[in-house]
Structure 1
């Protein structure tokens, strides 16, 4: 990335050229606001757009604060529990990525509010926040999607090859998988980031020099941006969503089969015990196997709940990406820019909600996590029992 501090670009808003890419600007900007304005084809008035976005930003910010606290607690608890279990590694990576998404979303919201209440700022709020906030969020959200896909696929392997899964899924292989996923989903963001320059732009009509973001105009940068968008912006998240959906359906079907099997075995066992009191050792061994299967079943149920929440919250993101790929003007600086912004805030909200409710899911469905969280917060279960009694 090139930072221009010595040379200033002097342009009035009406003189700025049209450029390709996600930071496209246009000629008919406001003389009062040096930041880029978002166009629309008559679908929303200024008042409607401002009201809708302010409501969404407020709700999103509340959800972000909840997710920030929740994911921070998740990371702290999993660190206390240790990483002997591969699932703790993947769930910690998921919490870290959710935390990064939340922080980038908070930054984007603050930039939006600054731009709304104080339009004249020392930097182009729209362009800078999209690159540093929204861009980072979009790539890290892909990491969240693929980590969820890995966790779901791991549980499927536990059902398909239960005797081999411990040798296949180890703490080392899980950590390696997390690093590979991060490299494949986040590193392209760095290439995309290098396609833009931070420059100082002097606006004649506002008589102000502000920090702005402009894309590189060479054909290779434009080609790289298009390739990154197709691969990382559309193919990666949609494929991850498909994998999570298929694995979740498989796990739900298997849970139903296990539940029916356990019911039939329990019924047969009760009938057999009524007819004979022998083979106590065999009964104890069978009980031990049932306890192990029930432990595995609880973990599968936990993964299913996480996956279902992810699917429900990620549907708006997939819809937004597909519309962006199909319609050229459906992006933040396109003809349908205002609609795109509203839809983007909805996708931000979905990701934030998904990250904020995981703590509740872990607490209700994972006994070790519940104990670890109580210890972290200084809640002694024994003292609580005495107080409650």
Structure 2
């Protein structure tokens, strides 16, 4: 059963799993005193330790495991939600047709109208969920493909023969991630009248107005 406690635990677990790859990044660096002959002194530097060999693990988690898990999870949850909403729509539609046949007076007409409104809202929710899922998948597939290519192709790196292509794709990937966050607001604004009205009200007030 989904409760507030279960929701908090799941969100916390997702956050911790998302931070897990960064552990592999931090443990590959260490402080080291290095001599400076020109000034006859030592400086404390942050040095990357290649002997640990955990950078590949970080890239595999971030570029292969996490994206595949997120794609499967988003696709599965979206499919289940769409199927449940369609079943609910069919059930409401059958009840609405039954109410139209039975002579129940004004109460039946009110119930019929309420069922139709709920069905319309459910169809609207289905479209919004599918749009958000599609935007997420389209924006993060190039990012994962770029990281996967970095693992498979040795020349495709910051110091390889394909470094310029690697740099250009890296900038494009940053654009895709920012685009994903921006498009969610656009999707909800276009599809949701209440969200759009509240958003316009907030923007019209400005940062210094109350």
Bin the TM-score by the shorter chain.
Answer: 0.7 to 0.9
Structure 2 CA distance for partners of 1:267 and 1:347, relative to 1, 3 Å: same
Aligned to 1:80: none
- The 5 Å alignment of 1:1-389 reads 167-168=1-2, 170-197=3-30, 214-218=47-51, 221-222=52-53, 224-248=54-78, 261=90, 268=97, 272=100, 278-378=104-204
* Distance across 2 between alignment mates of 1:337 and 1:203: 31
SS in 2 for 1:214: strand
Displacement, 1:195?
A: 1.2
CA shift in 2, pair 1:201/1:320, >3 Å: farther
Q: CA RMSD in A?
A: 3.8
Asked if the contact 1:251–1:304 (Cα under 8 Å) also holds between the matched residues in 2, the reply is: no
Work out the CA distance in 2 between the residues paired with 1:228 and 1:335: 23
Q: SS state of the match for residue 231, structure 1?
A: helix
- SS of match in other structure, 1:377: helix
In 2, distance between residues paired with 1:278 and 1:346?
A: 61
**Greater RCO, 1 or 2 (C-alpha within 8 Å, sep 6+):** 1
Q: Is the 8 A contact 1:234 1:325 kept in 2?
A: no
1:310 Cα shift? 0.9
Deviation at 1:347, TM superposition (A): 1.3
Contact 2:32 2:46 in 1 (8 A): yes
Give the gaps of 5 or more residues in structure 1.
Answer: 1-166, 205-209, 380-389
CA displacement at 1:187 relative to structure 2: 3.1
Equivalent pair of 2:96/2:116 in contact (CA under 8 Å): no
CA distance in structure 2 between the aligned counterparts of 1:195 and 1:269, rounded to whole angstroms: 67
Structure 1 stretch 335-344 or stretch 277-286: which is displaced more?
277-286
Report the CA distance between 1:181 and its aligned residue: 0.8
Asked if 2 retains the 8 angstrom alpha-carbon contact of 1:198 and 1:214, the reply is yes
CA positional deviation for 1:316: 0.6
How far has the Cα of 1:203 moved from its partner? 9.8
Aligned mates of 2:153, 2:175 — CA distance in 1: 23
Using a 3 Å threshold, how does the CA distance of structure 1 residues 374 and 198 change in structure 2: closer, same or farther? farther
Question: For the structure 1 residues 203 and 268, does the alpha-carbon distance in structure 2 shift closer, same or farther, using more than 3 Å as the test?
Answer: farther
Whole-Å separation in 1 of the counterparts to 2:185 and 2:34: 45
Name the SS for the 2:59 alignment partner: helix
**1:256/1:364 Cα in 2 relative to 1: closer, same or farther (>3 Å)?**
same
